[in-house]
Amino acid sequence: MKVNVNLFTPSGKWKYGGIVQLNEKNQLGDSAHKQELIDNQNFVVDGTFDHYIVVVTHRDDYDADPSPYFCQQLYPVGAFAGMRKTNQ
């Protein structure tokens, strides 16, 4: 599934964003899902989400049968602490 990912500074200012392809087998919020967000994005050069509020939004226009259980997920600052791109 494709999702929109937006990164905001702690003060609420939008900083980065883009579309990320995710594997639907991973549960939203688990470490595999978070790592996949980092690995499959191309809008943050170093791949770090450490210092940002991360908002993930399901794209209804992409899936023919969208999941009724996923709309939006917000990760607070620090939710991705220590996580880096693994596929560079």
Compute the Cα dihedral for 41, 42, 44, 45 and give only its sign: positive
> Kindly report the CA angle at 72 between 34 and 88, in degrees rounded to 5?
25
**What pLDDT, in 10s, does the model give residues 14-47?**
999 999 988 776 666 667 788 889 999 999 877 6
Q: Is residue 84 part of a domain?
A: no
Q: Is residue 68 part of a domain?
A: yes
Tokens 């599934």 -> residue: 1
Q: Is residue 46 part of a domain?
A: yes
Please give the Cα distance from 77 to 10 (Å, whole number).
Answer: 7
Residue 16, domain extent: 2-75
Which pairing describes strands 14-21 and 53-58: parallel, antiparallel, or unpaired?
Answer: unpaired
The total domain count for the chain is: 1
SS3 for 14? strand
Q: Is residue 85 part of a domain?
A: no
Q: Is residue 59 part of a domain?
A: yes
Q: What is the pTM for the complete model shown? A: 0.80
